[in-house]
Amino acid sequence: MGSRASTLLREEEIEEIKKETGCKLCQNAPLYLSQTSITNPVFNSVFSREDFQRIPELAINPLGDRIINAFFPEGEDQVNFRGFMRTLAHFRPIEDNEKNKNAAPSEPLNSRTNKLLFAFRLYDLDRDDKISRDELLQVLRMMVGVNISDEQLGSIADRTIQEADTNGDNSISFNEFMKVLEKVDVEQKMSIRFLH
């Protein structure tokens, strides 16, 4: 595993992370995160997959593997604290004053679109910007368990795609995904309160 050297996060790093993720209390983040099951991130500023897999609740979560994979950028096996916070920043609650701020250079990570994009990427494993029938089937199978027959799941998947698909390509693109979820209060659903 990574070195146990007590490498505290440098001030510049914290500033950068704050700017990127918008987490104001970022310097206190180690305090929050020290409650996690991941070994103390301050001292161990890279995580690997095994760190995540040690969390027992994630093992029984049907989407556990995919969530873990979402933290790691493409192809890499380790993620540092910055990347970790970057992913977590998607779940910050949307604040009102941010809605008015037009001066942000790019859309903040926790905007509705980015939240949905994060979720979309969890479905779309091969990153072709479409949720195909197979990908949907995989997710359904994970959520539903083993007792349901394949045909049933297949018909549910077909029905789902049929409902969402507007351009007839038999898969769900990101725009269709957003449209389907327009009635769901994503800002509230995909937010964790303490990440202010």
Contacting residues toward other proteins, per CB under 8 A? 32-33, 35-38, 52, 55, 57-58, 60-64, 67, 88, 91, 93, 96, 119, 122-123, 139-140, 143-145, 147-148, 151-152, 155-156, 158-160, 162-164, 177, 180-181, 183-195
The minimum distance between CB 105 and other proteins, in angstroms, equals 25
The minimum distance between CB 184 and other proteins, in angstroms, equals 6
The minimum distance between CB 114 and other proteins, in angstroms, equals 14
Q: At what angle do helices 133-144 and 112-123 cross, to 10 degrees?
A: 90
Question: Considering beta carbons, is residue 57 or 74 the nearer one to other proteins?
Answer: 57
**Helix, strand or coil for residue 171?**
coil
The minimum distance between CB 121 and other proteins, in angstroms, equals 11
CA distances from 15 to 24, 109, 192 (A): 10, 16, 22
Question: Considering beta carbons, is residue 106 or 147 the nearer one to other proteins?
Answer: 147
- In this structure, how many other beta carbons lie within 10 angstroms of the beta carbon of residue 69? 14
64 close to 58: Cβ distance less than 8 angstroms: yes
The minimum distance between CB 83 and other proteins, in angstroms, equals 13
| Chain centroid offset of residue 36 CA | 17
The alpha-helical segments, DSSP class H, found in 54-123 are 56-60, 64-71, 81-88, 96-100, 112-123
Question: Considering beta carbons, is residue 81 or 177 the nearer one to other proteins?
Answer: 177
**Distance in angstroms (rounded) separating the CA atoms of residues 146 and 45:** 38
**Residue 78: beta bridge partners?**
48
